Structure 1
Amino acid sequence: MPSAQPDTDLTAPALWRRMACWLYEGILLFGLVFIADYLFDALSQSRHALMLRHLRMAYLFVVVGIYFGWFWSRGQTLAQKTWHIRVVDAQGRPLTQARAALRYLLSWLWFLPPLTLTYALGVPPISTLAALLLWIVVWANLSRLHPQRQFWHDAWAGTRLVDGRPKA
């Protein structure tokens, strides 16, 4: 009789692997944002980056959200494929578009707390960068307090990162 359990081991990959994947994701996102921003400039006839600034930020937010939503609903982004990490729901099933969107919104917890605080306090850019880097280290290490070693935004979104290497 076939098992009702998914074919996926639901343990979290090591923190160093998840963070290496996170860094690689940032490199890939640089290319995505560069191309999307170039397209925005071409279509809006923008002459400099501050022209239509708020519309540009909203557009890039949506473009990045579509990238993550599309790939997460299929199991993994390009960086996650490289590092053999899959994103699934709490039961080990593929994400729905709605759950992928929720995960995307909650993943902004990697950046928003320090950026909001430093903006409100009028902190200079170099100190903002230091606060952001410190927060990333803290947020990543908070996963050690989760029972399954998941990032807290994953727990709140009902998702989890799992090892995607093929079973021997």
Structure 2
Amino acid sequence: MQNTEQGSNVPTVRRRIISMVYEAFLLLAVDMLAVALYLLVTGNRQAPVYQHGLKFVLFLVTAAYFVHFWTDSGHTLAMKTWRMKLVMDGQRRVPFGIAVIRYLLAWGWFLPALVTCWAFGIKSKGEVCAAIAVGIVAWALTAFLDKDRQFLHDKLAGTRLVSVPKASAK
């Protein structure tokens, strides 16, 4: 689909979802390193405060990962592999504050399901996974409400994903 306002191709929803799956594997490696360092620093203590601390550290590490790449080159490794880039309107580079806002808004993929599970006391892994799956599908469908097929968090943050052409071999 051609985006006439920006003059650039918008990656398909399918391509963006596939990129996110690839991103999850890359992020898993980054988060595993963060967990290992956290457990080393805390002596692998298991008290609730340390468990909450680990979640907070993972939230910050994940934020640092995305915000760094979005503000630096406009794409993570997965986004580069799938030839897409995050930009502001007018193809401008994404500033730090907007990247942080986009990161927080992107929790819309998971947060409603997690809050619902917490509110209704849902704890079984199967039910939590099902709730998260429904939330992911619902969030993905927000792209079909936008004429440019941008996800809701991009629309709200004022950012957009654009396709990057293949590099020509010379």
**What is the TM-score when the length of structure 2 is the normalising length?**
0.88
Q: Read off the aligned partner of 2:163 and give its amino acid letter.
A: D
> In structure 2, which of residues 56, 59, 62 is the aligned counterpart of residue 58 of structure 1?
56
Cα deviation for residue 118 of structure 1 reads 1.3
SS of alignment partner, residue 156 of structure 1: helix
Cα deviation for residue 90 of structure 1 reads 2.0
9-18 or 75-84: bigger deviation:
9-18
* Alignment match, 1:126: 126
Residues 1:139 and 2:139 aligned together:
yes
SS of alignment partner, residue 52 of structure 1: helix
Q: What is the distance in 1 between the residues matched to 2:147 and 2:62?
A: 30
**What is the TM-score when the length of structure 1 is the normalising length?**
0.89
Residue-pair matches, total:
161
Q: What is the distance in 1 between the residues matched to 2:89 and 2:97?
A: 14
User: Percent of counterpart pairs with the same letter?
Assistant: 37
Q: What is the distance in 1 between the residues matched to 2:28 and 2:125?
A: 20
CA RMSD of aligned residues (A): 1.8
Retained in 2: the 8 A contact 1:65–1:101? yes
Residues 1:75 and 2:74 aligned together:
yes
Query: Which runs of no fewer than 5 residues in structure 1 stay unpaired?
Result: 1-7
Q: What is the distance in 1 between the residues matched to 2:15 and 2:47?
A: 35
* Alignment match, 2:40: 42
Inter-CA distance 96–144: structure 2 relative to 1 (3 Å threshold): same
Cα deviation for residue 167 of structure 1 reads 7.6
* Alignment match, 2:148: 148
Q: Read off the aligned partner of 1:17 and give its amino acid letter.
A: R
Q: Read off the aligned partner of 2:150 and give its amino acid letter.
A: Q
> In structure 1, which of residues 10, 32, 36 is the aligned counterpart of residue 30 of structure 2?
32
Which has the bigger relative contact order, CA under 8 A and spacing at least 6? 1
SS of alignment partner, residue 21 of structure 1: helix
Cα deviation for residue 9 of structure 1 reads 4.3
Query: Which runs of no fewer than 5 residues in structure 2 stay unpaired?
Result: 1-5
Q: What is the distance in 1 between the residues matched to 2:167 and 2:98?
A: 26
Q: Deviations over 1:36-88 (max 9, x none)?
A: 11011111211459660111111111111011000001210010011001000
* Alignment match, 1:164: 164
- List, as ranges, runs of 4+ consecutive aligned residues in structure 1 with deviation greater than 6 Å: none
Q: Deviations over 1:5-48 (max 9, x none)?
A: xxx74332011100000100001011010001101111121145
